[in-house]
Amino acid sequence: MILYFTGTGNSRYVAERIAESLGDELLSMNDRIKTGDYSPVKTNERLVIVTPTYAWRIPRIVRDWLTETDFPCAKQAWFVMTCGSEIGNAAGYNCTLCQEKQLTYMGTAQIIMPENYIAMFNAPQAEEARQIVARAEPDIDRVISAIKTGQKFAPPRNNLYDRFMSGPVNPIFYSFFVKANAFTASDACTGCGQCAKLCPTNNITIQNGEPVWGGDCTHCMACICRCPA
């Protein structure tokens, strides 16, 4: 089974490519997280987790959902992480998570996709984004080939910088930057409510025809990047 979490579509695209090539089932973690559904998930022995990179690790809400959810038939787990530049030492934490879940850790693969963390960076223009996705295709193919043949991913880079960013920087980043305080709706807002429907933490309510953000934001950027206005 292919499990995926997505904010703006990068990880969903990769997950769909993998699922189509392997003929495997797709499951959206967004839907389960949004509804607080931690019921056991029936899978085959192969579990592929596709997720974006948040502060050089998998998103906390993904980690928490995986921790609380049972996968009674799963035996092996591969992690595929999309990012704008790098994943740090996320692999080390994914390995620990597998140990906690009594799963055989099959490695972590990094797939560079168009930058979408617009709280800090600029998203590429359409043509540049298409080029980035095109360059990612061979890496996605290598991921598919490894999973199909039951092989572990090659270990990603793991230097002092990577360990520092995924280690002490990660909690500091969440504490100081992962907030919705600066999010507001402009006059362009149509009040369609799409942002509230997409929010995986139910952090957005529609008040007087406009979205209002609460204090449980995970900075997935779905509300902004997928706003039709």
Q: Which CATH number do you get for residue 27? A: 3.40.50.360
pLDDT tens per residue, range 45-103: 999 999 999 999 999 999 999 999 999 999 999 999 999 999 999 999 999 999 999 99
83 and 161 fall within a common domain: yes
Domain that holds residue 54: 2-174
Amino acid symbol at 205:
T
214 and 195 fall within a common domain: yes
How much is the pLDDT for 166?
98
Contact 53, 22 (CB under 8 A): no
Question: The whole model's pTM is what?
Answer: 0.96
Q: How far is CA 184 from CA 189, 190, 197, in A?
A: 10, 13, 17
137 and 216 fall within a common domain: no
Mean pLDDT of the chain: 96
User: Of 159, 174, 189, which residue is a domain's last?
Assistant: 174
193 and 166 fall within a common domain: no
How much is the pLDDT for 93?
98
pLDDT tens per residue, range 141-170: 999 999 999 999 999 999 999 999 999 999
How much is the pLDDT for 85?
95
96 and 191 fall within a common domain: no
146 and 184 fall within a common domain: no
pLDDT tens per residue, range 184-213: 999 999 999 999 999 999 999 999 999 999
How sure is the predictor about 1, in pLDDT bands with cuts at 50, 70 and 90?
very high
How much is the pLDDT for 117?
94
Contact 53, 81 (CB under 8 A): yes
58 and 158 fall within a common domain: yes
How sure is the predictor about 3, in pLDDT bands with cuts at 50, 70 and 90?
very high
63 and 117 fall within a common domain: yes
**Apex 70 CA angle, 67 and 71, nearest 5:** 115
pLDDT tens per residue, range 213-227: 999 999 999 999 999
| Region 103-121 average pLDDT | 96
Cα distance between residue 40 and residue 73, in whole Å: 10
How much is the pLDDT for 13?
98
Which class for 89: exposed (0-12), middle (13-18), buried (19 or more C-beta within 10 A)? Answer: buried
How sure is the predictor about 43, in pLDDT bands with cuts at 50, 70 and 90?
very high
Looking at beta carbons, which pairs linking 194-197 to residues 24 or more positions away fall under 8 Å?
A: 194/226, 194/227, 194/228, 195/222, 195/223, 195/224, 195/226, 195/227
144 and 50 fall within a common domain: yes
39 and 147 fall within a common domain: yes
Q: How far is CA 133 from CA 2, 100, 184, in A?
A: 20, 34, 30
